Structure 1
Amino acid sequence: MYILGIHTGHDAGAALFKNQQLVAFCKEERLSRIKNHGGVFALAAIDEVLRIAGIERQQIDVLAMTRIKIPLSAYKRTSRPAKDFVDRLRDGSRLRNLYREMYRLRTLDESSVVDLPALRKALQLRPDTEIDFVNHHKAHILGSVMYTDWQTGLYLSFDGGGDHAFYSAYELKDGQLVCHQGEDEILLTEAQDPAASVALAYAYTTEICGFTPLRHEGKITGLAAFGKPLAADAIRDQYLIGDDGHIASRMQGYAELKAFLQQIFNGMRREDIAASIQTAAEEVTLAWIRSLRKRHPATRLGLSGGLFSNVRLNQRIVEMPGIEEIFVFPAMSDEGLPVGCAIDSLLRRHGGVAGLQRGRFTDLYYGSAYSGTDLMAAADSRFRLQPDGEPALTTARLLVEGLVGAVFAGGMEMGPRALGARSILASPTRREVNDSINKRLERTEFMPFAPYVLDQDAEEVFEIDDRNRYACRFMTTTTGVRAAYQSSIPAVVHVDGTARPQIVYRDDNPLYYDILAQFKQLSGVPCLVNTSFNAHEEPIINTPQEALQALADNRIDFLVCDRGLIFPSA
C-alpha cells in the first residue's frame, strides 16, 4: 500500500510511505529553489517522491493531507463567494484554506465541504484512492510518536498556528494515544488565542529585529547570547499557565500581541530584544511542560512544531529535573507535516499506535539520491576531476591545510539541517573560518557553525548522555562543550560555551564518517565544521548541477563524493 502525505501551506512538500516505511521525502523549496516555498497545490514534490520510489500517481492508495490550500473547484460549498478570500497564484489557480472554511461553516466533516472526486481528479489519482484529512498539530506529533520506541511519553507541539490552534499535548500510555490539548471538537467552538502563542511572539520579534519571520528565528537565538533579557519578565508576565496546562494571555489576538511587542521593544538594542524573547520563550515553555507533567507524569518528551527548532530551548528542556530522554522530530516545522499526515492514515488502518511498526531513525536521507558517478558526469570544462580511491583521506588533508569543501553523498536530507549528504566541511580550529565561509556564502550569522563528531567521541567532547543522544544525531539541540575542548574547536563553540553537535555512525554515511576519522588521525581534533551547503536565502543544494554551480561561484574550494574530488579548472 502506498500512502502519499502532502502539505500545501508554507514549507510545502510531500512524503511517501510504502506500507509502514517512509521511502521518500521532498520539500517543495528544494525543487523550486524558493526558500520556504508554499501555498502551492500543484506540488512538484509529489512527482519527485513518486520518482524516487519508481511509481506513478495511479498507484497511490491513500492521500493524506493537512486542511490547508485546495482548489476552489474542489469545494462543494464555501462560506464566502468565489471572488472573496481566494489566493490567486501566478499560474492563475485559485486556492482556499480548508480549515478556515470548516471553521466558518462549523463542521468537522470534510466530505460535506470538499468534492472528493474533484479533488482526486485535480491530483490525477484513481477514483478509488482514499483521502484522509489530518489535524495540523496531530500531524506534527505523530512523527515523534512513530520514530520513538517509548511505551509512555508526552508528545507536544507548539508553533505559529494551524487549524486554529497553537499548541497541543498528547499522552501515550498503555498503548493509547490521548489528546489532552488541541482536539478538533474543542477548536471548532473555542479556537486558541494567538496571543497565547509564544512561538508567534518569537516570529513577530524576528520581524521587529529586521529579519524574515518563519525563516530567520535562528538568528534571534544566536543574537540572544550577546544581549541582556531586559524585557523578559514583562513578556513572561503576559502568559498564564493553568493547572491543566492551558495557556492564556493577558492580551488578545494577533494585533494586540504584535503591538505589545513593538511597544516593549521600542528603543531597545537588537541583542537585548533577542535575549528578552529567548528567555521569555524558554520560561513560558518550561512552565507549560511542568504543568502538563504534574497532571500527566512523563519522563520522555517528543517535541515538534516550529518552536522546537529553537535548539537552546530544547537544551533547557533536556535539563529539566526528571527528564530521561527527549526527541525532536527532525523536520519539526511545517515541512514535516506530510510525514505526520501519512502516519495518521496508518493509525486509522492499523488499530492505533499498537499497530504501528515504530522504531528510531538512523538517518534522514530520504530525498533525491545521486551517486558520485552522477556528480562526476555532470562536471563540464569549468572543472577538474580528480578520481581518487581514498577520497576521505585526501579531503582530510585538504581540510587540515585550511581549505573548505563540500560533501555530496547519496540522498538529500529530510528537514532543515544538512547532515552529511549536502554539507560544507571545514576545520574547526580557527574561529575566523566562520567569517570567511559566511562571506563566501553571503550569510550574516550570529551562531557558530555546528560540529559533527564520531559516535565514540561524542560524550568525551560534548555534554551528551542518554537524555539527548538521540536528538543529537540530527542537530536538534545544543549541548555544553567539555572544558578540555572549548579552546581547540573555537569555530563551533558559541559564546555561552554550547554547540549544536551531530553524532555520526559509519553505517549511515561511510564517506562523511571516514573524512572525520581521517581528519582526527591527522590533526588530533575530533570534530569538523558542518554547515549547510547553500548560499544566503537559498535552499540547501539538491542536484549535482547545483553543487557544481556553487563550486564555480567560489562558495567552496572543492567537492568530494565517493568517486573522488572536483576542483575549479583554474
Structure 2
Amino acid sequence: MRVIGISGMYNSIDFKRRRLPGLDPRHYRIVQGLDSAAALVTDDGVVAAAAEERFTGEKTTGAFPVRAIEFCLRQAGLDMADVDHVAHGFDYRHSEVDEVGDYTRDRFHEVHSPEVARAQLASRWPDVDWSTRFVPVSHHMAHAASTYHLSGFDEALILVADGMGETESLTVAVGRGRDMEPVHKVSALHSLGALYGAATLHLGFEYAMDEYKVMGLAPYGDRERHAEQLGELVRLGAKGTYTIPLLGENRGWREQETQAGALRELTRVFGPPRAPGEPLEQRHMDMAAAVQTALELTLTHVLRHFAEETGLRRLCLAGGVALNCTANGLISRSSLFDDVFVQPAAGDDGSALGAALHVHQQRARADVRGRMTMPYWGPEYGADEIATLLVGTDGCSARRYEEAPQLVGDVARLLADGDVVAWFQGRMEFGPRALGNRSILADPRDPGMRDRLNTLVKQREDFRPFAPVAREEDVHRFFDVADGSPARYAHMLFVVRTKEEYRTALPAVTHVDGTARIQIVRRADNERLWELIGAFGELTGIPVLLNTSFNLRGQPVICDPAEALRTYLRSRLDHLVLGDNLVARVTTPARQAEGR
C-alpha cells in the first residue's frame, strides 16, 4: 500500500487577514495549518518526506504542499494514480464547529473543512476519485502515529502536546502493537502550546515560529524570581490534570484570535511587553525562565501520573511542545521512563508523516513499525548536476575530490584553523534540525565562534546557543549521556550536560547553564560526517564539531545545490562543500574592501 500524508491548511493566514484587517502582523500567525509538508509511506517504510517551505523559500509556510507531494511521487517513481490514499493530518467535523458567529462558521468552510483539502487535490489531480482516496486523520492521532510507529517500541505511553488539534491541546495515549488508544485529553482552552506562544509574543518574538528563542533565553533567567507567580500560569490538579487560567482571560473569539486577554495578564504579572527588536533585559530572561519552568512542571506532572497508572516504562513524544529540548532533557533524566523517543519532525510538518503512517497501519497488511534511524528523506542531487552548476559560476572556484578521505582531511584542517564551512551532502533531513546533510560546521573550541556565527553568519540574537555533534564512540567523554541509549540523541532533541571538565574546552556549544543540545552520530547513519568529526579530533584532540542549520536569517534550511551556492556567495561563510566539491570565493579587491 502507498499512502501520502499531508499537513497544513493552505489559506488560514489569508482568511484571517481578510476577515480581521489591521491586526499586529504577528497576530496573523495565531492560526492552525502552518508547516505544510508531504510524506510517502509504502510497505517498505518511509520513502520520502519534505516540508513545503524548502521548495518555496517561505519559512513555516502553510501553502498547499503541492511541491512536496510532487517530490514524494518523483522519489518513488510514481504518479498520483498509483497512490492508494492521501491522508491529511486534520479531521475537523462540521458538528464540532461553534456556530455562534459568522467568523467561526466561515473559517470552517473556507479553511478547516476536509472538503477544502480535497478540493485542492482535485484541482491538481482531477482524474483521481478523491471521494475514496482522501482520508482525514485527527490531528493528535497523526502526531501520535508519527512518533509511536517509528519508535521501535512494542508498547509505550504517548504524549502529544501543541497549540491545539481540532478541539484538544494535549492527548495521552497508550500504544500496544499496531494500536493506539487515547486515555486522556486536555481542551484547547488550557493549551500549553498557546501559553508558551503567548509568552513568545509578549517577549517580542513571532508566535508559532520563535518559541525556541524563549527556550534558549530561559537559562539566562532566575527561575526563583517568579516562583510565586507560577500558579497564575498553570494550576496543577489531581490525577495529572491541570488548568491554565491565563488563557481564560481571552474574552470572546476576537481576543482568542490575538491572545489579547492572555497578553494583558502577562503584562500584569511580568510587566510591559518587549517590542520586537528592543534590547533584552533581565526581566525578560526571568519571564522566559518562569514560563519554561511552568511547562516542565506541567509535563512531568502529567507524565508521572500516567506512568504510574499504566505502568508503561517507554515514552513517545510529539507535537510542537515536543520540540522543547530542555523539557525533553528533563524528562529523559527523570526516573519515570527507561527510554524516551521523540520523532524529529515533532511539529506540524511531522503530522503529514503521522497521517500517512496511521492510515497505512490501519489499512495495510504490512507492518512498517520499527526504530527509525536518520530522517534523510528529502531530495538529493547527483554529482553531474552539482558539477554543471559549478561550471562557470562567477565569484567562486571549486575543487572536485576523487577520494573522500582527502576531502574530509582538508575540510577538517579548515575547521581546525577556525574557518566556517557549509556542508551539503546526500538527502535533505526532514524536520527543523540540520542533522549533518544541510549543516554549517565550525570549531566548538573557539570562545568567539558563537558570537561570530550569530552576528556575521546567521544574523540572529546573540543569546542563542549552537549544538555539538559527536561520534557515538566519543560522546561519553564530553557529555552526560545515559549509557546504552545513543539512538535517543541522534536527532538533536534532548539537552544534556556538558561535563564540567570540558565546558571551557567547548565554549561555542555549551550554553550558559552548562548544557548542550547534543547530536550523536553513528558511522552507519552518516559515514562522511562521522569521518569528518574523527579527522577533526585527530588534529585537535576534541572529536566534536559545532553543527547548525545551513540557512541565513529568515530563510528555511537549504534544499538544493543552486540555493546552497547562492546562499554561500551572499554570506560570510568561509567555504562550501557540495558533495565532493570544496568551493571557495574568488577574492577580488571589492571583496577585500568588504572584509570578505
TM normalised by structure 2 equals 0.84
Specify the alignment match of 1:105 in structure 2: none
Specify the alignment match of 2:69 in structure 1: 46
Specify the alignment match of 2:54 in structure 1: 30
Distance 1:397-1:119 versus aligned 2 partners, 3 A rule = closer
The structural deviation recorded for 1:488 is 1.1
Which range moved further: 464-473 or 146-155?
A: 464-473
Specify the alignment match of 1:208 in structure 2: 202
Q: Deviations over 1:118-152 (max 9, x none)?
A: 56523415227522111111111111111112222
Q: Deviations over 1:8-56 (max 9, x none)?
A: 2100110011225111111011111111101x33632111221222222
Please show how residues 420-435 of structure 1 align to structure 2 within 5 Å.
420-435=436-451
What is the CA–CA distance in structure 2 between the aligned matches of 1:33 and 1:120, rounded to whole Å? 22
The structural deviation recorded for 1:78 is 12
The alignment partner of 1:369 has SS state of coil
| Structure 2 residue 144 is matched with structure 1 residue 157 | no
The alignment partner of 1:361 has SS state of coil
The alignment partner of 2:378 has SS state of coil
Please show how residues 322-471 of structure 1 align to structure 2 within 5 Å.
322-350=336-364, 356-379=367-390, 380-388=393-401, 389=403, 390-439=406-455, 440-466=457-483, 469-471=486-488
What is the CA–CA distance in structure 2 between the aligned matches of 1:55 and 1:48, rounded to whole Å? 10
Specify the alignment match of 1:96 in structure 2: 111
Distance 1:238-1:226 versus aligned 2 partners, 3 A rule = closer
Which one of the candidate residues 114, 126, 131 is aligned to 2:128? 126
Distance 1:490-1:373 versus aligned 2 partners, 3 A rule = farther
Distance 1:81-1:131 versus aligned 2 partners, 3 A rule = farther
Please show how residues 58-97 of structure 1 align to structure 2 within 5 Å.
58-67=81-90, 95-97=110-112
Please show how residues 519-530 of structure 1 align to structure 2 within 5 Å.
519-530=536-547
Distance 1:532-1:361 versus aligned 2 partners, 3 A rule = same
1:244–1:295 Cα contact (<8 Å) kept: no
1:450–1:531 Cα contact (<8 Å) kept: yes
What letter corresponds to residue 361 of structure 1 in structure 2?
M
What is the CA–CA distance in structure 1 between the aligned matches of 2:506 and 2:570, rounded to whole Å? 28
What letter corresponds to residue 223 of structure 1 in structure 2?
L
1:66–1:134 Cα contact (<8 Å) kept: yes
The structural deviation recorded for 1:553 is 1.1
What letter corresponds to residue 400 of structure 2 in structure 1?
P
2:110–2:116 Cα contact (<8 Å) kept: no
Q: Which 5+ residue runs of structure 1 have no aligned equivalent?
A: 89-93, 99-109, 183-190
TM normalised by structure 1 equals 0.87
The structural deviation recorded for 1:6 is 0.4
The structural deviation recorded for 1:458 is 1.4
What letter corresponds to residue 47 of structure 2 in structure 1?
V
Distance 1:116-1:275 versus aligned 2 partners, 3 A rule = closer
What letter corresponds to residue 476 of structure 2 in structure 1?
E
Note the aligned Cα RMSD (angstroms): 2.8
What is the CA–CA distance in structure 2 between the aligned matches of 1:237 and 1:210, rounded to whole Å? 21
Specify the alignment match of 2:304 in structure 1: 290
1:325–1:466 Cα contact (<8 Å) kept: no
Specify the alignment match of 2:41 in structure 1: 17
Q: Deviations over 1:474-493 (max 9, x none)?
A: 00011011123211111100
Q: Deviations over 1:426-484 (max 9, x none)?
A: 11111211111122221114232101001101122111125753231000011011123
Q: Deviations over 1:484-525 (max 9, x none)?
A: 321111110011111011111222222212111111111111
Q: Deviations over 1:35-81 (max 9, x none)?
A: 1101x3363211122122222222211111123799x9xxxx99699
Distance 1:173-1:441 versus aligned 2 partners, 3 A rule = closer
Distance 1:212-1:444 versus aligned 2 partners, 3 A rule = same
What is the CA–CA distance in structure 2 between the aligned matches of 1:303 and 1:433, rounded to whole Å? 33
What is the CA–CA distance in structure 1 between the aligned matches of 2:116 and 2:349, rounded to whole Å? 26
Which range moved further: 553-562 or 405-414?
A: 553-562
Specify the alignment match of 1:498 in structure 2: 515
What letter corresponds to residue 263 of structure 1 in structure 2?
R
The structural deviation recorded for 1:82 is 9.9
What is the CA–CA distance in structure 2 between the aligned matches of 1:269 and 1:249, rounded to whole Å? 22
What is the CA–CA distance in structure 1 between the aligned matches of 2:146 and 2:177, rounded to whole Å? 19
What letter corresponds to residue 79 of structure 2 in structure 1?
E
What is the CA–CA distance in structure 2 between the aligned matches of 1:547 and 1:167, rounded to whole Å? 38
The alignment partner of 1:10 has SS state of coil
1:205–1:261 Cα contact (<8 Å) kept: yes
Which range moved further: 483-492 or 258-267?
A: 258-267
The alignment partner of 2:187 has SS state of coil
What is the CA–CA distance in structure 1 between the aligned matches of 2:372 and 2:213, rounded to whole Å? 28
Structure richer in helix, relative to its length? 2
Distance 1:119-1:11 versus aligned 2 partners, 3 A rule = closer
What is the CA–CA distance in structure 1 between the aligned matches of 2:285 and 2:311, rounded to whole Å? 37
Please show how residues 294-333 of structure 1 align to structure 2 within 5 Å.
294-333=308-347
What is the CA–CA distance in structure 1 between the aligned matches of 2:170 and 2:430, rounded to whole Å? 23
Identity of aligned residues (%): 30
Which range moved further: 533-542 or 12-21?
A: 12-21
Which range moved further: 427-436 or 316-325?
A: 316-325
The structural deviation recorded for 1:257 is 3.4
Distance 1:323-1:445 versus aligned 2 partners, 3 A rule = farther
Matched residue count = 534
The structural deviation recorded for 1:87 is 7.0
